[in-house]
Chains A and B, each alone.
Chain A
Amino acid sequence: MTTATLDERVGTKGLADRLVARPELGSVLGALVVLLFFSVLTDQFLTPLGVATWLDDSATLGIMAVAVALLMIGGEFDLSAGVMTASTALVTAILATKLGWNVWLAVLASLVFALAVGALNGWLVMRTGLPSFIVTLGTFLALQGLNLGVTRLVTGSVQVSGMRAADGYESAGFVFASTVDIGGTSFQISIVWWIGAAVVASWLLMRTRFGNWIFAVGGAAPSARAVGVPVMRTKILLFMTTAFAAWLVGTINILRFTTVQANQGIGLEFQFIIAAVIGGCLLTGGFGSAVGAAIGALIFGMARQGIVFARWDSDWFQLFLGVMLLAAVLVNNTFRRRAERVRK
């Protein structure tokens, strides 16, 4: 300690170091690799229609992945998120087709339902001190049972359809399920929602006090509480955000496909978590990015549709998906370790 060196906390870092410290870098590189791979391998992957196909597949997954990423940065999981996309669609569909509600009113009621379940998830996790993995597993099963039970009770069938004939379908459909024509190719409006979700979540995370709270409660909840972060409120809000995203996806689905099946959505929760992890979120919380999660979903969608474009036998589909996901996570991990070295 002879010379007056700058404190490393205020020192400036090189561009490479700053880049490496970004959690989404691995996913950006991964996305480029997947994009290049399928563009070279197939003729249709980069055509407008091809792009519209894989963007469409990524969009709804991406909306969820962004919300799940926030929750994971906050240190929690939500296993009920997948089934929730079906529950919200079912609530909307039953109210609109069986009770004759205006679609907008039904969508609103479904939102209230979603936020209530999200708040319940958060409150239970905070009050019981149980891991969110267990609590939301309970909600997952409960919702799954409700979906089937209520649907059969009300409709005598296992799917609800007929949304097209409900009042207000056209205007609600315009907002949630329209297509945007660019150069003769239709792109789903869900892509816009996806980009919007990523932008809003990033802004929230990087530019607001609430964003700091999210990192704080996910990194070290007791210390966060000690410095005055409202841990309970933050976590409950995060669960409600995930529920909100599930409502958005459920609404997009029911208005686009106009029918919903009682067993829909099961298993999707893991895809959301996988997309968030590919995007650089840590399973242990406190680190990650919303844009990364959105790109994680993009990788998922590109790979899923790319495999079809490549005309590979679908028997091997899951194997390829699994290997690719593992590779993406390993690449991410390497980058994160470098990032942590840079930060020290």
Chain B
Amino acid sequence: MSRSTRLTRAGLAVAASALLLSACTGPKASGPDPTGGPVGDVSAGPLRIAVISHGTPGDSFWNVVKNGAEAAGKELGVTVEYNSDGDPAGQAKLVDNAVAQRVGGLVVSMANPDALRESVSRAVRAGIPVITVNSGEARSAEFGAIAHIGQNEAVAGEAAGKRLKTEGKRKLLCVIHEAGNIGLNQRCEGAKQGFGEASNLQVDISNPTDAQARIKGALQSDPAIDAVLTLNSQVAGNTVSAISESGSKAEVATFDLNADVVAAIKAGQVLFAVDQQQYLQGYLPVSFLKLYRDNANVVGGGRPVLTGPNLVDKSTVDTVGKYAERGTR
């Protein structure tokens, strides 16, 4: 027997015995999860909170959330660490990482709740208070989170659809900019509920040129479309350009604000923006977790704390616009 094979065999033997000595645990099938952790560490001292979102780095929407969380951290003397990963498995690992660091509180957005189930329950079991934000409202309590802060996507979509209907629109195009995002689909479904007839269009947010061309193509191929609902401020800008290029009579409404959308609302190119005030989704959980630790307060009473929808149109755009520029709206 050569030396290397002997070494391999010895290594395998050690690994096998380690496996035998340790207990294996399989994942559980459907069933109730441990919920409602005990009140966490009530001791005073510095509080550290991990905010873990599913946004991709550099996303303008999540930048506002991050700003909100950091502002609350500064005001309340709480250390806030923001991390994000668009891949659900990667996000779950970031949650595990936060648990390994024994953070004092966890804020997590659950665009893909099932993928985070194990990791979030592990945090709850470790006595870390969890608040879910933005998405995952339906599963938040089940996983043992103490509160959910966000905007109900379907409700927001419905509000947008209804408003477009009252504006006298007849045919709606709903533009989805991220293929895998279930929340965006819910918004379009909600819009359909509130509006009536609507069709969806899939574009890729990472390629604005292509997105604009596709929206233009959709408008040209169906001149009956007189309203476009975009779910992202950047896509709203693309749509405004697409409309002027194609000579369509459609009008735009959008989710989320940025400086361009503010300008477009002022100029009358965009009817209104559904603002979910995501700054609050960063700011509130940090203050809620601080209150939870220092005063055992729980907010919402099992119901989500809604940050929106708040429709921003010509009448309110001047005030809100200022804040969008500084990255807090």
Closest A residue, CB atoms, query B181: A158
A258 to B57, CA, bound (A): 25
A148 to B102, CA, bound (A): 38
Distance in angstroms between the alpha carbons of A311 and B73 in the assembled complex: 15
Question: Is A161's beta carbon under 8 Å from chain B?
Answer: yes
The segment from A19-27, A67-75, A105-113, A177-185 that touches chain B is A177-185
Interface hits, B157-186 → A, CB 8 Å:
178-182, 185
Q: Which residues of B contact A309 (CB under 8 A)?
A: 97, 100-101
Q: List residues of B (70-115) whose CB comes within 8 Å of A's CBs.
A: 81-84, 87-89, 92-94, 96-102, 112-115
Contact of B179 among A56, A148, A177, A305 (CB under 8 A): A148
- B89 adjacent to A253 (CB under 8 Å): yes
Q: Are A178 and B24 in contact (CB under 8 A)?
A: yes
A314 touches B185 (CB 8 A): no
Q: How distant is A322 from chain B, measured CB to nearest CB, in Å?
A: 13
- Is residue A102 contacting chain B, with contact meaning CB distance below 8 A? no
What B residues does A104 contact at CB under 8 A?
none
Q: B29, B83, B88: which contacts A314 (Cβ < 8 A)?
A: B83
Look across to chain A and name the residue whose beta carbon is closest to the beta carbon of B117: A258
B19 lies within 8 A of chain A by Cβ: yes
Chain B contact residue count (CB 8 A cutoff): 45
- Decide if B18 is an interface residue (CB 8 Å cutoff): yes
Q: Which residues of A contact B207 (CB under 8 A)?
A: none
Q: Assuming A157-B182, A182-B18, A262-B180, is B25 touching A49 (CB within 8 A)? A: no
Q: B residues touching A (Cβ–Cβ < 8 Å)? A: 8, 12, 15, 18-19, 22-30, 57, 81-84, 87-89, 92-94, 96-102, 112-115, 117-118, 178-182, 185, 202
CB neighbors of B among A160-210 (8 A): 161-165, 169-171, 173-174, 177-182, 186, 189, 192, 195, 199, 203
Residues A178 and B27 in contact in the complex (CB < 8 Å), given A257-B88, A264-B180, A315-B57: yes
Is A212 interfacial (CB 8 A cutoff)? no
Best-buried of A195, A261, A311 by chain B (most CB within 10 Å):
A261
Which residues does chain A contribute within 8 Å of B89, judged by CB atoms? 60, 253, 256-257, 264
Decide if B30 touches A165 in the complex (CB within 8 Å). yes
Contact A317/B23 with A158-B179, A158-B182, A257-B115 known, Cβ cut-off 8 Å: no
Chain A: which residue is nearest B99 at the CB level?
A49
Q: Which of B29, B180, B182 contacts A169 (CB 8 A)?
A: B29
**Interface 0/1 of A291-305, CB less than 8 Å to B:** 000000000000001
Asked if A39 is at the interface (CB within 8 A of a chain B CB), the reply is no
Chain A contacts for B97, CB-based, 8 A: 53, 305, 308-309
Would you mind naming 14 contact pairs between A and B with Cβ atoms under 8 Å apart? A57-B93, A159-B180, A170-B28, A170-B29, A174-B26, A174-B27, A178-B27, A180-B22, A180-B23, A181-B24, A199-B8, A309-B97, A309-B100, A314-B84
| 4 cross-chain pairs, A with B, having the tightest CB-CB distances, nearest first | A263-B180, A174-B26, A259-B114, A257-B115
User: Within the assembled complex, what's the spacing in Å between the Cα atoms of A270 and B22?
Assistant: 35
Distance in Å: Cβ of A92 to nearest Cβ of chain B? 14
Most buried by A among B28, B29, B83, B185: B29
A73 to B181, CA, bound (A): 37
Find chain A residues with CB under 8 A from B83 CB.
308, 314
Known: A47-B100, A49-B99. Is A257-B22 also a contact (CB below 8 A)? no
**Separation in Å of the A161 CB from the closest CB of chain B?**
5
| CA gap between A203 and B9 in the complex, in Å | 12
- Name A residues whose Cβ lies closer than 8 Å to a Cβ of B: 44, 47, 49-50, 52-53, 56-57, 60, 148, 157-159, 161-165, 169-171, 173-174, 177-182, 186, 189, 192, 195, 199, 203, 253, 255-259, 261-264, 305, 308-309, 311, 313-315, 317-318
Bound-complex Cα distance A178 to B26 (A): 4
Q: Is the interface of A mostly helix, strand, loop or mixed?
A: helix
Q: In the complex, which residue of chain B has the Cβ closest to the Cβ of A249? A: B89
Contact A157 B185 (CB under 8 A): yes
Residue of B nearest to A164 (CB): B30
**Contact status B27-A170, CB under 8 Å:** yes
Please state if B182 and A159 are interface contacts (CB–CB under 8 Å).
Answer: yes
8 A-B pairs besides A170-B28, A257-B88 with CB distance below 8 A are A157-B185, A169-B27, A178-B25, A253-B89, A258-B27, A313-B82, A317-B57, A318-B57
The residue of chain A having its C-beta at the shortest distance from the C-beta of B2 within the complex is A207
Known A-B contacts A158-B185, A159-B112; the reply to A261 vs B180 at CB < 8 A is: yes
- On whether the beta carbons of B25 and A261 are closer than 8 Å, the reply is no
Q: Pick from A49, A53, A195, A318: contact of B15, CB below 8 A.
A: A195
B296 to chain A, nearest CB (A): 27
Q: Separation in Å of the B5 CB from the closest CB of chain A?
A: 8
Which chain A residues lie closer than 8 Å to B82 at the CB level?
313-314
Using Cβ atoms and an 8 Å threshold, which residues of chain B touch A148? Answer: 179-180, 202
Contact among B25, B93, B114, B181 for A186, CB-based, below 8 A: B25
CA distance in complex: A71, B99 (Å): 37
Nearest Cβ in chain A — how far from B47, in angstroms?
14
From A165, A261, A317, contact of B29 by CB (8 A): A165
Known: A195-B15, A257-B114. A263 touches B24 (CB 8 A): no
Q: Are A170 and B81 in contact (CB under 8 A)?
A: no
Interface hub of B30, B113, B114, B180 (most chain A Cβ within 10 A): B180
List of B residues within 8 angstroms of A169 by Cβ: 27, 29
